Structures are given as structure tokens and as C-alpha cells.
Amino acid sequence: MQDNNAITEKIIGAAIEVHRSLGPGLLESIYEDCLAVEFELQGLNYQRQKPVPLIYKGNKVAQELRLDFLVENKVVLELKAAEKLLPVHQAQLLTYLKLTNCRVGLLINFNVPVLKQGIKRMLNDD
């Protein structure tokens, strides 16, 4: 069983490979498709567009949230192809971490010249 650091390193490596091949400026869905291929090639276990039921005051509401990826059942990965990462993107990832009881999440924005500038690692300290 891999620890969170090893998993996030593999995810970041896969994302860098996709970004190196494609560059910035494409739709988020294109990066998601290619990242799924890269995860397969690297042997990472993942769930894509994973539904997360939303419970409000003990009641399941009709809308479900969808995670871009849940990797190795431990790390939530949220992808963006935006001009820049905004506080609302970070808040979204933190909410996903709380709802899934996952400790670690990555927010990756592919619309940057160097991918390292678009990666934010976040922790759920609850």
C-alpha cells in the first residue's frame, strides 16, 4: 500500500508528462482524458468522475458532486484549465476532501507555461 506522498508524486509525474506532451491552452476534459491514459500506463488505481453523495442535515440531496479523480482511494485530484487558480478552486478541493474523508488533495491547473506553477497540494486537517 502506497503512502500519500508516493501517490501524489506519481500523480504529479503523470500530470507533468501530459503537460509536457500537450502544453497549455486545451480544455480541462482533454487533460482529464490524457491523464487517465497516463495513470493506466503508470499502473495507478483511479476512479474518474467519481460521484460523491451530498448529505445535508441527514438528508441525501438529489445533486451529487463529481470528483475529477480519486487516486488509490486516498488522493482527491481536481483539474483546472483556467487563467489562474482562484480561492474558490481551493475551497472546492477542501470541501471535496471533507466530504470524502480523504486527507490529501491536489489541485492542478494545466493552463500554465510550467506545470509546477499550477500545482497546489492541500490537506484536510479535520
Residue-wise pLDDT tens digits, 98-118: 999 999 999 999 999 999 999
CA 92/CA 95 separation, integer angstroms: 5
| pLDDT, average across residues 75-91 | 95
State yes or no: pLDDT of 83 exceeds 70. Answer: yes
CA 98/CA 94 separation, integer angstroms: 6
Percent of the residues in the chain that have a pLDDT greater than 90, as a whole number: 85
Distances (CA, A) of 20 to 13, 16, 107, 124: 10, 6, 18, 30
pTM of the prediction? 0.93
Q: What is the structure's pLDDT at 36?
A: 98
Q: What is the structure's pLDDT at 56?
A: 86
Query: Domain extents for the chain?
Result: 4-123
The mean pLDDT value of the chain amounts to: 94
Q: What cell does 122 get?
A: 492541500
